Amino acid sequence: MQVAHTAAALRAALAGKTGTAFVPTMGNLHAGHVSLVELAKQHGQPVVASIFVNPLQFGAGEDFERYPRTLDADCDRLAAAGCDLVFAPDVAELYPVAQTFTVQPPDALANDLCGAFRPGHFAGVATVVLKLFNLVQPRVAVFGKKDFQQLFVIRALVEQFNLPIEIVAGDTLREPDGLAMSSRNAYLGTSERIQGAQLQRELAAVVTAVEAGERDFDALAASAARHLKMAGWRVDYVALRDAATLQAPTPASNRLVVLGAAWLGNTRLIDNLDFSLPAASP
């Protein structure tokens, strides 16, 4: 496996390659990332993974400085998974001058859900992803479903800029108790780690209620948020949305997603479950 730290080295390694499959990451990799690499191998060769903690998507007071950086261990894990090339630039390489040109998703998307609590986050995500797409020029790019809103932003980015890239979504990998795998899980203390699985359970309860016929979506989301707050969580949001539009469900919606973001202590966890509505009775 090759490791490139500069754009020039990356381009040299990919010269003449047309079927690249790309997995962007921020490093501190876990089994969920490995599953994305394995999925990428089914869609293209060579497989390229990037490792870059992007300052543009972190707001004031967020965890940019303390975000775990484990490049050597990450490279070992990627090599074992069959990755062909790792692009691991530093900030100066990817942002050699101040990034005054940025990609701005529409306000209705950028300022909703996670965006309402992380101003500028999705502009930072879209900007760095467009940069990485330009450098790697993949045929396929693989993103996890755990950050459903991010996946939605990237799909819209590709469509809006007419990029010849297929976006493939990888399912969320979970711990045995249901907690979605995340690099930030390492921040959780012992008792917080045990409690962390409650977020998935509350979202699953919403899915069960909808599948049983409940249609007061706001009340179901409010109930899930209330249960989390009673257990000591600080809830940013729980919401039910149309999975195809990320807007409020309509009578025509046939696939929904329930999304949640909440804090345990100093750790913010996100999760979601997407599901089909039962077919209406004739």
Q: What is the pLDDT of residue 278?
A: 76
The residue length of the chain stands at: 282
Q: What is the pLDDT of residue 279?
A: 67
pLDDT in 10s for each residue of the chain, 282 residues: 999 999 999 999 999 999 999 999 999 999 999 999 999 999 999 999 999 999 999 998 899 998 999 999 999 999 999 999 999 999 999 999 999 999 999 999 999 999 999 999 999 999 999 999 999 999 999 999 999 999 999 999 999 999 999 999 999 999 999 999 999 999 999 999 999 999 999 999 999 999 999 999 999 999 999 999 999 999 999 999 999 999 999 999 999 999 999 999 999 999 999 999 876 544
CA pair distance 145, 259, nearest whole angstrom: 11
What are the phi and psi torsion angles at 9 (to 5°)? -65, -40
CA pair distance 181, 57, nearest whole angstrom: 20
CA pair distance 155, 169, nearest whole angstrom: 10
Contact 244, 252 (CB under 8 A): no
CA pair distance 109, 64, nearest whole angstrom: 23
What are the phi and psi torsion angles at 165 (to 5°)? -130, 130
Contact 104, 119 (CB under 8 A): no
Which of the four CATH numbers 3.30.420.40, 3.20.20.70, 3.20.10.10, 3.30.1300.10 does domain 183-274 have? 3.30.1300.10
Task: Give yes or no on whether 2-170 and 183-274 have one common fold.
Answer: no
**Of 5, 30, 33, 227, which is the active-site residue?**
33
Q: Is 33 a catalytic residue?
A: yes
**Residue 82, burial from CB neighbour count under 10 angstroms (0-12, 13-18, 19+):** middle
Query: 59 is written with which tokens?
Result: 């707001």
Q: Is 69 helix (H, G, I), strand (E, B) or coil?
A: coil
Query: 248 is written with which tokens?
Result: 């409020």
Name the nearest CA neighbour of 207 among 260, 269, 144. 260
Query: Residue ranges of the alpha helices (H) in 57-145?
Result: 71-81, 91-94, 107-110, 114-117, 121-136
Q: How far is CA 76 from CA 1, 30, 91, 143, 197, in A?
A: 9, 12, 22, 21, 29
| CATH of segment(s) 2-170 | 3.40.50.620
Q: In the chain, where are the structural domains located?
A: 2-170, 183-274
Largest CA distance in the chain: 61
7-14 and 121-136 helices cross at what angle (nearest 10)? 50
Q: Is 21 helix (H, G, I), strand (E, B) or coil?
A: strand
CA pair distance 103, 274, nearest whole angstrom: 27
CA pair distance 157, 65, nearest whole angstrom: 28
CA pair distance 145, 178, nearest whole angstrom: 15
Contact 85, 14 (CB under 8 A): yes
Q: What is the pLDDT of residue 280?
A: 59
